């Protein structure tokens, strides 16, 4: 991540705070620059490659949204979208679809031996499900999450 975007990229992580998750409560994850860099370092340390596409607000140069794709270090197999989010004040303009589409193009160009791309979306997140449908993702399985309060 370019240093000039670091602060606004960190701030853009709050776009994940209101992601529909049904009845499961993950709490609010606080992202700061150290956590963002640690996550990128963890991906790199296991030999994988993190690709990030960001939408930049032309009026102030701030990150309006992002999508992250993790590619196996071999460049083969399936890559996994780690997250796509748009800040509330920038939603409704198709940014998630455009960023994810750019990520797909980038993956094809940089890693032509990839088998496919995986993404996951909560059933009760119709906006991201529509984005994934429009981009050609097909459901492969369903996961159920359970939560036990202690």
Average pLDDT over residues 20-32: 68
Contact 101, 113 (CB under 8 A): no
pTM for this predicted structure: 0.86
Could you tell me if residue 72 is inside a domain? yes
What are the pLDDT digits (tens) for 103-120? 999 999 999 999 999 999
Residue with tokens 């140069």: 61
Average pLDDT over residues 81-96: 93
Could you tell me if residue 65 is inside a domain? yes
Could you tell me if residue 145 is inside a domain? no
Contact 129, 139 (CB under 8 A): no
Strands 114-118 and 49-56: unpaired
Q: Report pLDDT for 20.
A: 58
Q: What's the CATH code of the domain at 58?
A: 3.40.630.30
Average pLDDT over residues 76-96: 94
Could you tell me if residue 64 is inside a domain? yes
Could you tell me if residue 21 is inside a domain? yes
Q: Please count the CA atoms within 13 angstroms of the CA of 121 that sit on its side-chain side.
A: 19
Q: Report pLDDT for 103.
A: 97
Could you tell me if residue 55 is inside a domain? yes
* Domain ranges, residue 37: 3-132
What are the pLDDT digits (tens) for 114-143? 999 999 988 888 999 999 999 999 999 888
Q: Report pLDDT for 19.
A: 61
Could you tell me if residue 89 is inside a domain? yes
Tokens of 42: 């963890």
Percent of the chain with pLDDT over 90: 63
Tokens of 114: 């990839």
Number of domains in the chain: 1
Q: Report pLDDT for 95.
A: 97
Dist CA 53 CA 81 (whole Å): 11
Could you tell me if residue 26 is inside a domain? yes
């Amino acid at each position: 991540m370019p240093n000039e975007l670091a602060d606004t990229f960190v701030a853009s992580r709050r776009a994940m705070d209101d992601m529909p998750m049904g009845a499961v409560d993950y709490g609010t994850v606080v992202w700061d620059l150290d956590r963002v860099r640690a996550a990128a370092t963890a991906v790199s340390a296991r030999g994988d490659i993190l690709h990030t596409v960001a939408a930049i607000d032309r009026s102030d140069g701030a990150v309006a949204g992002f999508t992250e794709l993790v590619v196996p270090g071999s460049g083969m197999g399936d890559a996994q979208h780690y997250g796509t989010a748009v800040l509330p004040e920038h939603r409704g303009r198709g940014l998630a679809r455009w960023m994810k589409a750019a990520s797909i193009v980038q993956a094809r160009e940089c890693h032509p031996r990839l088998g496919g791309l995986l993404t996951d979306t909560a059933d009760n997140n119709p906006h991201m499900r529509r984005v994934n449908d429009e981009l050609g993702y097909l459901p492969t399985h369903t996961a159920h999450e359970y939560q036990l309060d202690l």
